[in-house]
Structure 1
Amino acid sequence: MKALIIDDENKARRLLQHLLEEHHPEIKAIETASNLESGITIIQSQKPDIVYLDIEMPKYSGLQILNLLGESEIDFQIIFTTAYNKYAVEAFKLSAIDYLLKPIDITELKTATYKAITAVKEHTINHQLQDLKKAFNQLALNKIALEIPKGIIFVSHDEIVLFEADGMYTKVHLENRTTELICKPLKHFVAQLHQLPIFYKPHRSYLVNLKHIKELSKRDGQHLIMSNNKTIPISKDKRDEFMLVIKEVFNT
């Protein structure tokens, strides 16, 4: 029985490797990788039976394994390791796929590993990945995934007050008065949300949620006052268009 641990944190890799060596002697070989790309190289060359896959990693999330490997290449069991919030955990439960919440509990590790070992012996390939993908899509119907340094948070469209450009990053201002800095440019969110009429771009640096407009002020040029009291300018070339949008959306 061979295993592979993919995690960008060295401490997490070493700890999980130690736990497996101590509690699962039936796993004779344990490889490690610090990112998904090198992990895939090991998968293709070493053919592990079980892959312990972290989700919150730079460049490629563990969930993107479906995009980087063909479905026929996934002939191993996957156990995700994650510090995800409740929305992601809900997706795992909907797909019935195994996951371990960090910090990893020994009992949960044993349960998930024994289940994977049994599946390997019975030649039951882990087909729940497609179900997991569907579950995330289902959750995303009214949510957006925001990649933050510690992972991904899933936020309802209604919770977003506005997006603000910050160079090649974007500040996402939320209804609870918190702000998340996302390492994607504003144009990424403009393209992602362009079919949703509640989002409008009144200025090259802002994408606002029309539901969170508190006031339209015409002092010193037109600008919006949002529910979090942030003032957003309306570009001169957008003023007429914006008034048409307001009339259509709010039936004014």
Structure 2
Amino acid sequence: MKLRAIICDDEEKARRLLKHLLEQCQIPVEVVAEASNLPDAVMAINEKNPDLLFLDIEMPQYSGLQILDFYKDKELPCELVFVTAYNEFAMQALRLSALDYILKPATLDVLEELLQRFEKNSQEKKKRIEVLKAHYDKPFSRIALPNSSGYQFVEIKNILYLEADGMYTHLFLNEGTPILVSKPLVDFERLLHDDRSFFKVHRKYIINLNQMNSFVRSTSEIQMEGGTLIPLSRHRKQEFEDEIHRLIPGRAEKG
């Protein structure tokens, strides 16, 4: 008996590739519907009653993770397989929930393993979705920094600022010595994109707004906890002032 699947991805090329790979799997899979957005996928689920939903995470209007909002009062009637390009926060949530996910571009070997797991065990779906809900609604408090022996975990709130150094980034903390990470600043910019406490004030610097002591408008300098002065790019000045007045009114000093 064939497994019934729905593919939801805003990119037609990605849907075609995934469908082509599923048709080659040893475990028979029939793609009964395709959708380019989450509401259409929910309609297809209700109409087609699939076994599996392959769901892209990053789509316009609705994130794939928001499917949980469409099933608040009833159980999701199919197994979820999230499809994602690299997104650290999303992937941490998926790992914690033990839900299946595949990285783009998908490969035949990965799909074969996934389908075998699905056939063996789909009994704990509800429990896993509840874990995902718990982590989806709140940001992660730590980030993992790769080093020579593995990973070092750092509380996000303890980061003072980040400074670019070519393809490396220095993380300055409110305690301890700075950490040099072999990742460019742009990687951290993406990672911290949804955390409104962090702001890129200069092409070389991202600061934690909650770790500021003062801002001197006349010199366009930000003093961080500990006394370090960070330059503010003139191109970012107005947006920065709007942001600090919205988030932490009263802490910015007039220069």
Q: What TM-score range do you get, normalising by the shorter chain? A: 0.5 to 0.7
RMSD: 4.1
Within the alignment, does 1:225 sit opposite 2:227 as a pair?
no
Corresponding residue number in structure 1 for 2:16:
14
8 Å contact kept, 1:75–1:126: no
Residue number among 42, 51, 54 corresponding to 1:52 in the alignment: 54
TM-score by length of 1: 0.61
Distance 1:224 1:39, change over 3 A: same
Give the residue type in structure 1 aligned to 2:216.
Answer: L
C-alpha distance 84-160 of structure 1, shift in aligned 2 (>3 A): farther
TM-score with structure 2 length normalisation? Answer: 0.60
Q: Count residues in correspondence.
A: 195
2:129 match: 129
Does the alignment pair 1:4 with 2:9? no
Q: CA deviation at 1:47?
A: 0.8
Identical residues among aligned pairs (%):
29
2:221 is matched by which residue type in structure 1? I
Q: Could you tell me which runs of 5 or more consecutive residues in structure 2 were left unpaired when the two chains were aligned.
A: 144-154, 162-171, 173-183, 200-207, 223-229
2-structure distance, mates of 1:228, 1:54: 39
Deviations 1:226-250 (A, max 9, x none): 3243354669xx8xx96x6479xxx
Query: Do the aligned partners of 1:177 and 1:228 also contact (CA within 8 Å) in 2?
Result: no
Contact 1:8 / 1:33 at 8 angstroms: preserved in 2? yes
**For residue 148 of structure 2, what is the aligned residue in structure 1?**
none
In structure 1, C-alpha distance between the alignment counterparts of 2:60 and 2:252, rounded to whole Å? 40
Whole-Å separation in 1 of the counterparts to 2:185 and 2:29: 48
Shift of 1:51: 0.5
Partner of 1:40: 42
Structure with greater helix percent: 1
Distance 1:87 1:29, change over 3 A: closer
Which aligned pairs between 1:35-114 and structure 2 lie closer than 5 A?
35-114=37-116
Measured in 2, the distance between the counterparts of 1:136 and 1:210 equals: 23
In 1, Cα distance between the equivalents of 2:159 and 2:11?
Answer: 31
Change (3 A) 1:99 1:211: same
Q: Which structure 1 segments of 5+ residues have no match?
A: 144-154, 162-174, 182-188, 200-207, 248-252
